[in-house]
Amino acid sequence: MSGPLHEGMSIGGRYNVICNIGEGGMQYVYKAYDNILERVVALKTPKNSAASKRFKRSAVLSARVNHPNVAKTLDYLEEGNQLFLIEELIEGSDLDSALLKQVKYVDPYLAAKVFHHIAKAVAAAHHVGVVHRDLKPTNIMATGSFGVSELKVTDFGIAKMAEEELVDAVEGGDSTMTTSKTALGALPYMAPEAIDTPRDVGRAADIWSIGAMMCHLITGQTPYGVGLRVVTKILEAAPPIFPAFVTSNPQFAPLANKLIELVHRCMAKDPAARPTADELVQYCSQLCYPVAVRRRGRVKEIRYESWGFIEVTGPDVFFHLSSVYGDKPKRGDEVVFSSFDGGGAFRAHPIVLLQKV
């Protein structure tokens, strides 16, 4: 057996393939049914022999990490010449699809929540000697849509394989930066040492990647752009510049400034100057951010260029434009927001403009 799987296939006499749910640079991912424990799981299999090379060892590494913010490794099996990793199935979308394709940027409240949970996942991995090496939005799963009710880091199990492809790409092997999906996808979030001395990448590179992702979330842009042109900028490692809107609104400025400070610490050029994952968890635990449910709605009206109402199922929700993070919405625009009892009508805060499809 080799290549992609098909609906109805039985793996190891235990797992029945339901459907393909995605793929990365290293692996195919399927939804499957576990006939013994009667549950739905994620089934992953390497794409080629190069990816298969360390799949078993990577599965063992992945199984070491046990934390609510990490997708659980459940099983590993070999059938013929094909290898399979069974993981907890997260019924959601990766961070790229759940957030970054929905809005230009994420308000500091939600960004702080994401920051905190990713830091806890990485700290748990570092405690057992596992370095992810390939942290990026597509390796982080979120449930609850824009509200992110649950967040789990995935693919610790292919971290070593990803590292090898990255090393090969950086050093000019068969897999180049131009052809490697793994390398191109990870590049905007790669630490300077991952490019300069890729075989010496350690825990501090994961911290850089977290900082780069947080910069992307709150600004809507990766710290140094995209594509091969970012390599020089990453190696220079000048502190990323944040657009004025991130801190210009007094409603968001206090938390935004703290997030910017943390991002700069995470993205220090010297790996030794970056916080450890445990320190990052401690810093994030001191941030004040709400965890209220997020809702989608449409701006029904705006009065005096100051305040208005959002139309949702049920009573309209009052809002003030000072509660909007970033671009201001117009009548008819779709927004995502939290709402609170305002002593009359419910009041929305914060509010972020959804991108038009």
For residue 278, give both structure tokens.
Answer: 């445990």
- For residues 107-144, one letter each, b for 16 or more C-beta atoms within 10 angstroms of the residue's C-beta and e for the rest, the string is bbbbbbbbbbbbbbbbbbbbeeebbbbbbbbbbbbbee
What is the CA 345 to chain-centroid distance, rounded? 35
Name the H helices within 97-145: 108-127
Please enumerate in sequence order all residues whose Cβ is within 8 A of that of 127, keeping only pairs 6 or more positions apart, or say none.
none
Please enumerate in sequence order all residues whose Cβ is within 8 A of that of 95, keeping only pairs 6 or more positions apart, or say none.
114, 137, 138, 140, 141, 142, 151, 213
DSSP H or E stretch at residue 232: helix 230-236
Catalytic (active site) residue 134? yes
- DSSP state string for 159-213: HHHHHHHHHHHHTTSSS-TTT-HHHHHHGGG--HHHHHSGGG--HHHHHHHHHHH
Question: Among 203, 194, 193, which residue's Cα sits nearest to residue 124?
Answer: 203
Q: Which of 75, 94, 107, 134 is catalytic?
A: 134
Contact indicator for 207, 266 with CB cutoff of 8 Å: yes
For residue 101, give both structure tokens.
Answer: 């394709």
Q: What is the DSSP letter of 72?
A: P
The sign of the CA dihedral 132, 137, 143, 148 is: positive
Contact indicator for 174, 194 with CB cutoff of 8 Å: no
Catalytic positions: 134
